[in-house]
Structure 1
Amino acid sequence: MYHLEFSYSPHVPPGSRKKTSIPAIITRTKVTGYNRQRYLTESLLDLDQQLRDVGSQLFVCEGNPVDIFSTLHKEIGLTHLSFEQDCEAIWNKRDNAVRKLCSELGVTVIERISHTLWDPFEVIEANGDQPPTTYEMFVQVIKVLGDPPKPSPNPDWENVLFGNISDEVAQKIKLFPHVPSVEEQGYTRIGECPVYIGGEKVALAHLQERLIVEENAFRDGYILPNQVNPDLLGPPMSMSAALRFGCLSVRKFYWDMQETYQKINRGEPPASHSLTAQLIWREFFYCMSANNPKEGWIHHVCRTVVSCFLTRGDLWISWVDGLKVFYKYLIDADWSVAAGNWMWISSSAFERQLDCSVCVCPVEYGRRIEPTGDYIRQYVPELANFPQEFIFEPWKASLAIQKEHNCIIGQDYPERIVNHTEASKSNSKIMKSIRKRLKKPPRHCSPSDSEEIKQYLRLPQSCFHNFSNLLG
């Protein structure tokens, strides 16, 4: 998203020198599926409507930003370019090319930090020019930096004079007549069902619903209700998709949570960052990914077991392959956060306590998190009629039971592809042998303690006493 200022506009009297328009340049995301692109498109439509309400519109172009800005500078006198800083190294090539062009053309570039609570580069600088290597260390650094800025007020459009783009220039920069639909962008729906609706208006309404849930939890004396009592079958309460696409300010979310807590607790601030732990983990991963390439929707507690199962726990598949799938299909897919989570769980980086024989057992984890089995029945209809005792381990049902419930294992539903007990032990031996072969182990990030592992795995409090049973 870019905000542009022009020195003149062909449709405005010569005496009015400064014109402003707010186009979005779409070059497609690197990897995306239908639902994710649908969410982004809905977000752009919402922004377009808000701009039309104040007398402008969202200008949507397709192409290389460097080519588009070169044309705009030549045709209408581009003088200023402002945009939100993207600290992720994956986008450096794109943004550096734009910065270089603006420097050559004498266009003033204004970058603002708003996608994160703190500036990742300030965090790194405050830590001796090195990214904090543990979550606990990261928390200590941000305590030194102080509270994150509060969200900016709503924009005042009263003194803004919007410019126009002529039909001739519009043709040169491939300006769409409207925000293109998902289908017009070349995406085809193949059975996907929407979970979230994109846009700031919906995100703000969802935030109010989320704050009510948090407020009730504060009254009952606990925090993080979405993790303590995860409802896999209920409507999703996560704000991650809205945060990912800028529909919701992360600073607004942070401070609204703080203010809600203080309202219930008579002005007392929370004792630690545990209240906003998920946001702080997000910040941690952004900080670790700053200038550091690391080459739909599922509830977060399920993402944990999926990533462990695919990597070191059972299948021994590279975390990179898992990241590609998540990045394509999850509507809240975020390069820094997704890569960080996959590397953390797979023991490729960020931790060393989980890279032993301890890993998530998918069967026991499922039983503890959603013991009714209704989550499986909803998403695996082949097993919908299976009795409770076999819903988590259908391969243990006798052939007679399988026939009775219209699901033959190996025919209507595949055989299990791996024996978890055997695979996890074998994988553990491989990992230990790799460590032994390393004469000088590389610098390796790790969790601060076992409590941090429990928090990261997002286990309900009721599961803590059975922590060892869930891991194995």
Structure 2
Amino acid sequence: MDSYSNGFYEEEERTLTVFNNVDGASEEEQDSFFDSYSASASSSPSSLCSSNWHSERLPVSLHWFRSFSLRLHDNSALMASLLRPQTQFRAVFVLDPWFTETDKKFGANRLKFLLECLHDLSNQLEALGLKLYVAQGQTTAVLAGLCQEWGVTHLSYQKSQEPRSKVEERTISEMASMMNIEVEEFHNHTLYSPTELIKLNEGKPILTFKDFRTLLSKLKPPAVPISSPSTKQKYNEDNIPMFKVQTFQIPSLASLGCYDVELGTGPWVGGETEALKRLDNYCTVRSKPFDNFLDCLFDKTSLSPYVRFGCLSVRHFWHYVRQLASTDKSKMTLVQEVSSKLLQREFYFLVSSQVPNFDTDTQNPICIQLPWEFDADGLRRWRSGMTGYPWIDAAIRQMLKEGWIHNLLRESIATFLTRGDLWISWLKGAESFEMYMLDYEPSVSCGCWMKSSSTAFITGTIEHYNPISYGQQLDPNGDYIRHFVPEVKNLPKEYIFCPWMAPIEVQREAGCIVGTDYPHPVVDHMTAGVICMERLKSFMQSLSSHQTNP
């Protein structure tokens, strides 16, 4: 490194300063900056250096793609590395054992979606004359090895908003410091940086949505998304020999221990290309109300899986719908829907950044410690969609098959598992969501589970939940149940939500004998529901005199 001039290091400092401030610029300023910066970088004599592996090589600027930043558009960290002068660019994704370890925290459908995202990202980089190197192993160890082997002097990545990633990021930062590697972190996974929001609130905690909304009134709109890399620009990549490239290929599902028998048949295809294509369709479909609620339950337009994997930038999503509404007032309903969902997500990320152990109930200061019970058989039946309550089973089976269910269905199965009927800890349900839900994000999911189980974020009266009548209100004819629970599809609508109440003659005629073709209810809701509600009320009353809950 001593062989480079002082001017090189001055250029590094200038680059860091500019890139760290670019997110706050207007869209026109950003475009102008990247155009001029690209021109200066490409006109540098260093851009003419040979990429031959054995020739004298420039230092490498490495971008680390993460499982929530798999896109080219609105990716500040990517552009920081891609346009850094007097360096050559490489991009890597590390497939950590966490994705494929034996306890299967990352289910087959989620893993398939991830690999599709990587293939799409790889194709897009190839169109720019670049490569995506996919390495397997423990993340910190892999990055340390590659940085040493490749001569990396700069590392950029999108910073995680999840508390569980703090240790990993701190370890990587320490590793980089020891290796004299400059690290650039960027906040692009949420509309606002939680750190900046807390700072704006003078360091005072923001633990209720009411306080969050008050804070929002003081904020400027989210920063406009930055430009994507241009196919007209020649980027300076340092290629490695083909025999080494073979070790950085995207693996197959089978090689990771997942086989077709484990996969569902959901409508979701991973990748940024698919996300942007679906964005147009989403805006068209969601601009007008659904004809009936059944259409919501079968809806395939959701973009939440793409937001979770970073295939779709939340800033791009936010500004895109507003741009549509600026010329078409009929899109204002769409703006309200998107704003509500993204801000709810933003709120949970904000709270999780302030609350230690947010993703568990142990030493979590905002989570009420209810005396949950562990019913192994009840949990097994809930997880497999065999509770004997068709509304609950249909929702579980859709989740297992497709990796996504409507928010009201999530609320139904979460309440049933916890305070509604089974009195099992919300953590057990969150584990299933982590395995199967394509859009699972720990902070958001755990926040919703605490709310559904009435262990945090309680507002107003806690309502009694009925897994029969609730479904009947949303799907009077039981069409959703008939689709996902075919065992009961021939039952008349007055019995399809409660098959055990059908006379035996009706059961025989429908070809569904309860206890043979479809299970008996795991619990009697009329009894279990009342007991759960009384236990919850009793516990809340005992806490009300000395504990405040968000």
Q: Is TM-score (shorter-chain normalized) higher than 0.5?
A: yes
Q: Find the counterpart in structure 1 of residue 94 from structure 2.
A: 25
Structure 1 portions without partners, runs of 5+: 1-5, 218-224, 446-472
Q: Find the counterpart in structure 1 of residue 56 from structure 2.
A: 14
Q: Per the alignment, in what secondary structure is the counterpart of residue 247 of structure 1? A: coil
Cα 1:192–1:277 change in 2 (3 A) is same
Kept after mapping to 1: 8 A contact 2:96/2:138: yes
Cα 1:135–1:29 change in 2 (3 A) is farther
1:115-134 aligned at under 5 Å gives the runs 115-134=189-208
Q: Find the counterpart in structure 2 of residue 449 from structure 1.
A: none
Q: Per the alignment, in what secondary structure is the counterpart of residue 286 of structure 2? A: helix
- The aligned amino acid for 2:257 is G
Cα 1:199–1:281 change in 2 (3 A) is same
Q: Find the counterpart in structure 2 of residue 375 from structure 1.
A: 480
Separation in 2 of the partners of 1:69 and 1:8? Answer: 25
Q: Find the counterpart in structure 1 of residue 516 from structure 2.
A: 411
Cα 1:134–1:227 change in 2 (3 A) is farther
Q: Per the alignment, in what secondary structure is the counterpart of residue 256 of structure 2? A: coil
Kept after mapping to 2: 8 A contact 1:308/1:359: no
Separation in 2 of the partners of 1:359 and 1:66? Answer: 47
Pairwise CA distance, 1:9 = 6.5
Q: Find the counterpart in structure 1 of residue 315 from structure 2.
A: 251
Separation in 2 of the partners of 1:441 and 1:379? Answer: 46
- The aligned amino acid for 1:53 is A
1:146-225 aligned at under 5 Å gives the runs 146-156=220-230, 158-166=233-241, 176-189=247-260, 190-215=262-287, 217=288, 225=289
The share of aligned pairs that are identical, in percent, is: 32
Pairwise CA distance, 1:439 = 7.4
Pairwise CA distance, 1:322 = 0.3
Kept after mapping to 1: 8 A contact 2:128/2:230: no
> Is 2:168 the partner of 1:94?
yes
> Is 2:431 the partner of 1:324?
yes
Kept after mapping to 2: 8 A contact 1:273/1:280: no
1:271-420 aligned at under 5 Å gives the runs 276-290=339-353, 292-293=356-357, 294-295=359-360, 296-354=403-461, 356=462, 358-420=463-525
Question: What is the Cα-based RMSD across aligned positions, in Å?
Answer: 2.7
Pairwise CA distance, 1:411 = 1.2
Q: Per the alignment, in what secondary structure is the counterpart of residue 157 of structure 2? A: strand
Separation in 2 of the partners of 1:227 and 1:111? Answer: 45
Kept after mapping to 2: 8 A contact 1:47/1:200: yes
> Is 2:225 the partner of 1:140?
no
Separation in 1 of the partners of 2:470 and 2:286? Answer: 25
Cα 1:13–1:70 change in 2 (3 A) is same
Separation in 1 of the partners of 2:291 and 2:440? Answer: 19
Q: Find the counterpart in structure 2 of residue 260 from structure 1.
A: 324
Kept after mapping to 2: 8 A contact 1:123/1:131: no
Cα 1:130–1:193 change in 2 (3 A) is farther
Kept after mapping to 1: 8 A contact 2:404/2:438: yes
Pairwise CA distance, 1:436 = 3.5
Moved more, 109-118 or 138-147: 138-147
- What whole-Å deviation, never above 9, does each CA across 1:89-131 have from its counterpart, x for those lacking one? 1111211110111111111111111111111121222233244
Q: Per the alignment, in what secondary structure is the counterpart of residue 231 of structure 1? A: helix
Q: Per the alignment, in what secondary structure is the counterpart of residue 365 of structure 1? A: helix
Pairwise CA distance, 1:327 = 0.8
- The aligned amino acid for 2:92 is P
1:27-66 aligned at under 5 Å gives the runs 27-29=96-98, 31-66=105-140
Pairwise CA distance, 1:246 = 0.8
Q: Per the alignment, in what secondary structure is the counterpart of residue 156 of structure 1? A: coil
Kept after mapping to 2: 8 A contact 1:8/1:18: no
Separation in 2 of the partners of 1:352 and 1:227? Answer: 30
Q: Per the alignment, in what secondary structure is the counterpart of residue 184 of structure 1? A: helix
Q: Per the alignment, in what secondary structure is the counterpart of residue 228 of structure 2? A: coil
Kept after mapping to 2: 8 A contact 1:307/1:346: yes
Kept after mapping to 1: 8 A contact 2:426/2:449: yes
Q: Per the alignment, in what secondary structure is the counterpart of residue 99 of structure 1? A: helix
Moved over 6 A (4+): 6-9, 167-170, 268-272
Cα 1:38–1:319 change in 2 (3 A) is same
Cα 1:188–1:227 change in 2 (3 A) is farther
Separation in 2 of the partners of 1:28 and 1:152? Answer: 33
Separation in 1 of the partners of 2:481 and 2:143? Answer: 50
Q: Per the alignment, in what secondary structure is the counterpart of residue 134 of structure 2? A: strand
Number of residue pairs the alignment of both structures matches: 425
Kept after mapping to 2: 8 A contact 1:116/1:250: yes
Cα 1:43–1:13 change in 2 (3 A) is same
Cα 1:48–1:141 change in 2 (3 A) is same
Pairwise CA distance, 1:442 = 3.2
Pairwise CA distance, 1:143 = 2.3
Kept after mapping to 1: 8 A contact 2:161/2:353: yes
Q: Find the counterpart in structure 2 of residue 242 from structure 1.
A: 306
Separation in 1 of the partners of 2:87 and 2:512? Answer: 69
Cα 1:127–1:226 change in 2 (3 A) is farther
Q: 2:535 aligns with which of 403, 407, 430?
A: 430
Q: Find the counterpart in structure 2 of residue 469 from structure 1.
A: none
Pairwise CA distance, 1:185 = 1.9
Kept after mapping to 2: 8 A contact 1:232/1:375: no
Separation in 2 of the partners of 1:440 and 1:373? Answer: 44
Cα 1:180–1:69 change in 2 (3 A) is same
Cα 1:302–1:386 change in 2 (3 A) is same
TM-score after normalising by structure 1? 0.83
Q: Find the counterpart in structure 2 of residue 443 from structure 1.
A: 548
Separation in 2 of the partners of 1:439 and 1:253? Answer: 41
Q: Find the counterpart in structure 2 of residue 453 from structure 1.
A: none
Cα 1:68–1:262 change in 2 (3 A) is same
Q: Per the alignment, in what secondary structure is the counterpart of residue 73 of structure 1? A: helix
- What whole-Å deviation, never above 9, does each CA across 1:35-82 have from its counterpart, x for those lacking one? 011111100000000111111211000112222232223222111111
- What whole-Å deviation, never above 9, does each CA across 1:230-271 have from its counterpart, x for those lacking one? 5145441211000000111111111122222232229x9789
Separation in 2 of the partners of 1:238 and 1:272? Answer: 15
- The aligned amino acid for 1:200 is E
Cα 1:270–1:416 change in 2 (3 A) is closer
Pairwise CA distance, 1:359 = 2.8
Cα 1:24–1:197 change in 2 (3 A) is same
Kept after mapping to 1: 8 A contact 2:108/2:258: yes
Separation in 1 of the partners of 2:459 and 2:341? Answer: 21
